[in-house]
Amino acid sequence: MLAAKLILEQGIVVEGLNFFTGFCVEGHTHAIRRQRAGRLKRNNALWVAEQLGIKLHIIDVVEEYKTVVLNPKHGYGAHLNPCLDCKVFMVKKAKNWMEQHGFDFIVTGEVVGQRPMSQRKETMPIVAKESGADDRLLRPLCAEHLPKTLPEREGWVDRSKLPGFSGRGRKPQIELAHSFGFKEYSQPAGGCCFLTNEHYTTKLLDLWNHKGKRDYELDDIMLLKVGRHLRPRPHFKMIIGREEGENNFLQGYRDRFTHCYPLSHKGPFALVAGEISEEDVALAAGVTARYSDAKAEERVEVHVAHLDGRSASSVVKPLLPEDILPSWYV
């Protein structure tokens, strides 16, 4: 937001690019859960574009991004976050877009030293070089600390009007935001990607382990964002809605998964991922009942529908808290 604003202030036409990888954390993804219904369900990139009065192009990169997640040349950060490869990938995509649409250079909001992996003084030139953007990549917020880029050398951008931010602190950015009259700004870097989230990446690793290969489809990674994930047996996992919004979302997958829900009481909608035997059906029904409003009852009627069209209702006793082993939680 600030980087774009600095360039707009110099009279240059700017358009925004936002890449959808499938791992994005956004208010509307959280909005699946009704308990957060009071929070504004907005896309922050769109909101920023509106504040700046610029166009924003949201680009679906889900398929291409798999190579970044699965085989990052520069490795992962603390979890499964391939930050440096991600940055190279996105700047490369931006460069292609720039060339196709007749723009002259790329602006990012990076700051030297702000992030431990992709925004160090040693790694920032890697992004410029490996993306092919080279000296058409301008980081206005920390331009002073970096060699002059083409737009600065050509005089398209007045380098003397760009700040020289560095380090992890956000105070100068917040002051600059206030000087522009921005009272609100979007999430600082790092909190916008599920690949930096330990709980999420544990579930992704579990998915790969049980698939027997490191691969995913969009639905796989969307479902990892939703519900309580339990693996009662090695060959099947349950995704159990935690409230109405998640139940509604999970119901959208009823044609693709065996699923369970209580009939006699209010309770969760649960997907079952994996092949399950009759014995497993009873266990899955008991787990579903455990998270229903009737968890303290003796008898709960649970409906189980299989992918092959078979379905049946049975009365089960909800599992006790001690029956749900800690090792089941993914």
Partner 1 sequence: MKKNIDARHLLCPLPVIRLAETISTCQPKDEIEMLCNDPGVLQDIPAWCRVHGHRITAIEQNPLPIRITVLVA
Binding residues for partner 1, rule CB under 8 A, total 27
Burial readout 193-207 (b: 16 or more C-beta within 10 A, e: otherwise): bbbbbeebbbbbeeb
Among the residue ranges 54-62, 133-141, 152-160, 263-271, the one whose residues contact partner 1 (CB under 8 A): 54-62
Q: Which of 18, 166, 313, 314 is the binder for partner 1 (CB under 8 A)?
A: 18
Q: Which residues contact 263 (CB under 8 A, 6 or more apart)?
A: 301, 302, 303, 313
Give the C-alpha distances (Å, rounded to integers) separating 167 from 116, 142, 283: 10, 10, 52
The residue among 43 and 258 lying less far from partner 1, judged by its C-beta, is 43
Does position 47 bind partner 1 by CB under 8 A? yes
Give the x/- contact pattern for partner 1 in 232-271, rule: CB under 8 A.
Answer: ----------------x---x-------------------
For residue 223, count CB atoms less than 10 angstroms from its CB and return exposed for 0-12, middle for 13-18, buried for 19 or more.
buried
Burial readout 31-48 (b: 16 or more C-beta within 10 A, e: otherwise): bbbeeeeeeeeebbbebb
Distance of CA 127 to the CA centre of its chain: 21
The residue among 41 and 73 lying less far from partner 1, judged by its C-beta, is 41
Does position 320 bind partner 1 by CB under 8 A? no
Q: Which of 40, 198, 309, 327 is the binder for partner 1 (CB under 8 A)?
A: 40
Q: Which of 4, 32, 138, 207 is the binder for partner 1 (CB under 8 A)?
A: 32
Does position 222 bind partner 1 by CB under 8 A? yes
Q: Which residues sit at the interface with partner 1, rule CB under 8 A?
A: 18, 20, 24, 26-29, 31-32, 40-43, 46-47, 49-50, 54-60, 222, 248, 252
